[in-house]
Structure 1
Amino acid sequence: MPGKLPRNYAIVFGRPARALQTVDQMTKTNLPLNADRLWADVMALADITDPARPYTRRSFTALFLEGRAFLAKAFADAGLAARIDTSGNLIGRIEGTEPALGVIAIGSHSDTVPAGGRFDGIAGVATGLEIVRALRDAGLRPRHTIEVIDFLAEEPSEYGLSCVGSRGMTGSLDDKMLDLREPGGEKLRDALRRVGGDPDRLDLAKRGDIRAFLELHIEQGIVLESRFLDVGVVTSIVGIRRIEIIFQGEADHAGTTPMALRHDALVAAANTVASVRLAAEQLAAEGADYFVATVGILNVDPSASNIVPGRCRLIVDARATNPELTKRFTEIVDRESMAHGAAARVARASFAILSNGPPMSCDESLRSALRQGARDLGLAETDLPSGAGHDAAFMSRIAPSAMVFVPCRAGKSHAPEEWADRDAIAAGAAVIYQAVRAIDQSPR
């Protein structure tokens, strides 16, 4: 069965031969938290979905607010004081015995992509909640204040922006972003008010008291599963740049307009898509640095079989561990798209960088605490980079930050088939629990 781990990791990793427990056995005996309770939270949130498009709970929607209500109640039941900050993040807080030491924050996001998975983000929020419960069950009162954070709109929202809440918490949400509109015309600033934030007081959301931020996430890749590993300790998170390109031509009758007289915006867009792919392949092949790029949005107007497209809009998503590659890629696409517009006899109406997040390295001391936590639990771990963006990337701007990955079946994510085993999530959560205990007990 996918996700199951071998009974003897010694063979896989060349360790001294010794009998090691499976995760199933450890869940029943060694893990310092309640795997069933954690799993129940993940599944309860998964059930709050558009039934026609499982699993969909888009940010700013009624379903998203229903999920938030579930979390707020769960926070309160666990003894956490819940609030929504001015950047729209739901935060559960339990005061430490020495609050001057600062905050240990644990979290992720509860929104999903359209028809996305049950675990992306959700498992990270549920992990924070379960860690607080486990501390309470063990009769432990941490020295540090503990916060569990459900960040607003980590996934790209209808307003064309991702990581809205973590941007706000780190002072990275500006007026230009707040003026972005969704297709119906609503501005992001107005949507933020709808979900309990306050765009006029974003300065109150920015934090300077967080000593450590930790996030659990499914890997969204196949390394852990294929190598029979329990957890990955994330080394770095790619920077993400999103570029909007608009071509403006002329809509004409598809049957009566001669080919030589057409101003087809889709031709320019299609050739640009091909250039994006070629440039990304060339940059990825240059060396050790990670680089990928995708055109995930292509809007054609008017979209009809018998009309020459008059306008095309495309969004490029570029990700790299080296910002110099992103810079070079942007220059290539800028130059090529201009040429494609000219060749198709259409205007390149705009070339705009919608958002730009630099790559980040996870904090080494937190990574050491996570590795030690895995080893103390007898779990097999490895270092892994992240090719996906996460709230932790923004949080690293204001606090030491680190992440734990857990295996997901066949690396599948952002799809209804996304799956992570109960025991895999519990093992990753237990690693973060161990790290929280170590951070809390360490000298200031």
Structure 2
Amino acid sequence: MTVAPLADRLDAELAELARFHDSAFPGWSRVVFSEPYRDSRDWVRARMAEAGLDPVVDAAGNIIGRLPGADPNAPALLTGSHTDTVPQGGRFDGIVGVLGGIEVARRLTETGTRLNRDLYIVDFLGEEANEFGISCMGSRSISGTLSAEHLDRMDGSGQRLGEAMRGFGLDPSAALGQPWRRPMHGYVELHIEQGPLLERAETEIGVVTAIAGIERLLVHFAGSAGHAGTTPMGERHDALVSAAAAVLTVDRVGCAAPVHGVSTSGSIVSAPGSMNVISDEAKLWAEIRSVERDWLQGARREIVDEITAETAARGVQIDVEWLNDQDPVPTDEPVRDVIASAAAELGYSWRAVPSGAGHDAAHLARLGPMGMIFVPSVAGKSHCPEEFTASADIAKGVHTLTRTLVALDAQDRPRD
């Protein structure tokens, strides 16, 4: 059965949701716990209610809408994504998956297509990385991996994550004890690719093979302050120069990845921060990503070894802290096959692609079979105001998602 989305309605809702952003910045800023985010979530709940989903908000702030199936005891299907953004981000990342899921439910109802299983559409709280250093807060809660240690993390002002959640009207303690208890038949997430592969290959649908693991790195450099005009170059212990050299090390390791691996230095701060004083302290934040677990482990060792050797030569001390954001997560092969078949049956070209970005789907994989559908990103742009996906491509993604969910619903088990 083919249940096509209404592309004009999707376009209108994408534009309407984009109204909720912090106008003090370029692009679309709707970061977790902000007022624009609060307002946008009221709007999302209203859209779910209009689609007949009877939405609820759980203790962790996930907005969950349910489309009842014929058998309330059957393992459920889930889809969704997130509607928060990075600062000065775009208006498609995550949002396509939430509004696309709502459109799937609405079109099933409008065409009289009733699934056997309940279908849940979820707008997960706080998928994007934030000042607390914890991404995918809502999906971690549902999957049972949100921890008390996460709630104790602080932002730059010294506020704990748990306090920020409580100030947003949530219950952080309950968020630790609410893993999804109903059997999950499968989870499928629609998302923009956020990279250039599909557009370059002129391919309409990406069938995601794996979600990259993410290792985040914080290095503290401790040198010696001194006068910039009188301290000889060979006698300096410059923390900022060591941090700058570490940036090049991080970049070099990522460039040497044999299959899929990337590395990024996101920020350096130094003290005392004056151009006529040698820096005695610096901090570097960086990350490495890959769908290859072995490469990630080797890259970690290589980065630490090279930074240690370089800083020792300059007489600078370091303290290295690694934060594992997530391990590489393969998608479920039978679910991939269903997605590929759905795209082919609808006449859409498809190809298998890895995801270098993290997603809520990586955490939902702990609950059952998981798959992801990508649609092309123009010029591969994402996490910036230029982020764009054509409405026709979004509609094809929603169409493929609908076909996939209907096919999974008809299976006794998506696994062999």
Residue 127 (str. 1) matches residue 100 (str. 2): yes
3-state SS of paired residue (2:262)? strand
Determine the C-alpha separation between the residues in 2 that align with 1:302 and 1:426.
Answer: 53
Pick aligned residue for 2:343 from 344, 358, 374: 374
Determine the C-alpha separation between the residues in 1 that align with 2:127 and 2:16.
Answer: 20
Q: Structure 2 regions of 5+ residues with no counterpart?
A: none
**CA-to-aligned-CA distance 1:85-117 (integer Å, 9 cap, x gap):** 223322122332212112211111111112111
Report matched runs for 1:89-168 at 5 Å: 89-168=62-141
1:309 aligned partner, one-letter code: S
1:372 aligned partner, one-letter code: S
Residue 221 (str. 1) matches residue 212 (str. 2): no
* Fraction of identical pairs, as percent: 38
Specify the alignment match of 2:309 in structure 1.
Answer: 339
Residue 400 (str. 1) matches residue 372 (str. 2): no
Aligned residue pair count: 410
Checking the alignment, whether the CA contact within 8 Å between 1:84 and 1:197 is kept in structure 2 is: no
Residue 317 (str. 1) matches residue 287 (str. 2): yes
1:299 aligned partner, one-letter code: V
Pick aligned residue for 2:397 from 417, 425, 428: 428
Specify the alignment match of 1:385 in structure 2.
Answer: 354
Offset of residue 256 of structure 1: 4.4
**Are the structure 2 counterparts of residues 67 and 301 from structure 1 closer, same or farther at C-alpha, using a change threshold of 3 Å?**
farther
Report matched runs for 1:36-75 at 5 Å: 36-51=8-23, 52-75=25-48
Checking the alignment, whether the CA contact within 8 Å between 2:3 and 2:111 is kept in structure 1 is: no
Residue 365 (str. 1) matches residue 334 (str. 2): yes
Determine the C-alpha separation between the residues in 1 that align with 2:273 and 2:105.
Answer: 51
Report matched runs for 1:192-341 at 5 Å: 192-209=165-182, 210-282=184-256, 284-285=257-258, 289-341=259-311
Residue 413 (str. 1) matches residue 382 (str. 2): yes
**CA-to-aligned-CA distance 1:361-389 (integer Å, 9 cap, x gap):** 11122112212221222111111111211
Offset of residue 188 of structure 1: 1.1
Determine the C-alpha separation between the residues in 2 that align with 1:41 and 1:421.
Answer: 14
Determine the C-alpha separation between the residues in 2 that align with 1:328 and 1:373.
Answer: 38
Checking the alignment, whether the CA contact within 8 Å between 1:267 and 1:344 is kept in structure 2 is: no
1:33 aligned partner, one-letter code: P
3-state SS of paired residue (2:21)? coil
Checking the alignment, whether the CA contact within 8 Å between 2:29 and 2:85 is kept in structure 1 is: yes
Determine the C-alpha separation between the residues in 1 that align with 2:255 and 2:346.
Answer: 41
Determine the C-alpha separation between the residues in 1 that align with 2:55 and 2:272.
Answer: 47
Offset of residue 258 of structure 1: 4.2
Specify the alignment match of 1:87 in structure 2.
Answer: 60
Checking the alignment, whether the CA contact within 8 Å between 1:268 and 1:343 is kept in structure 2 is: no
Checking the alignment, whether the CA contact within 8 Å between 2:3 and 2:403 is kept in structure 1 is: no
Determine the C-alpha separation between the residues in 1 that align with 2:3 and 2:48.
Answer: 22
Determine the C-alpha separation between the residues in 2 that align with 1:430 and 1:307.
Answer: 60
**Are the structure 2 counterparts of residues 253 and 84 from structure 1 closer, same or farther at C-alpha, using a change threshold of 3 Å?**
farther
Offset of residue 397 of structure 1: 1.6
Offset of residue 291 of structure 1: 1.5
Checking the alignment, whether the CA contact within 8 Å between 2:28 and 2:89 is kept in structure 1 is: yes
Specify the alignment match of 2:159 in structure 1.
Answer: 186
Determine the C-alpha separation between the residues in 2 that align with 1:370 and 1:279.
Answer: 34
Offset of residue 346 of structure 1: 2.4
Return the TM-score normalized by structure 1: 0.88
Checking the alignment, whether the CA contact within 8 Å between 2:30 and 2:86 is kept in structure 1 is: yes
Determine the C-alpha separation between the residues in 2 that align with 1:187 and 1:234.
Answer: 35
Aligned-residue Cα RMSD (Å) equals: 1.8
Checking the alignment, whether the CA contact within 8 Å between 2:336 and 2:371 is kept in structure 1 is: yes
Checking the alignment, whether the CA contact within 8 Å between 1:31 and 1:427 is kept in structure 2 is: no
Checking the alignment, whether the CA contact within 8 Å between 2:5 and 2:107 is kept in structure 1 is: yes
Determine the C-alpha separation between the residues in 2 that align with 1:397 and 1:371.
Answer: 22
Specify the alignment match of 2:145 in structure 1.
Answer: 172
**CA-to-aligned-CA distance 1:53-81 (integer Å, 9 cap, x gap):** 21111112111111111101111111112
3-state SS of paired residue (1:99)? coil
Higher deviation after alignment, 199-208 or 175-184 = 199-208
**CA-to-aligned-CA distance 1:256-307 (integer Å, 9 cap, x gap):** 444345332111111111111222233x13xxx3121111122223333233
The runs of at least 4 consecutive aligned structure 1 residues that moved more than 6 Å come to none
Return the TM-score normalized by structure 2: 0.93
Residue 33 (str. 1) matches residue 5 (str. 2): yes
Determine the C-alpha separation between the residues in 1 that align with 2:99 and 2:274.
Answer: 45
2:249 aligned partner, one-letter code: S
Higher deviation after alignment, 75-84 or 402-411 = 75-84
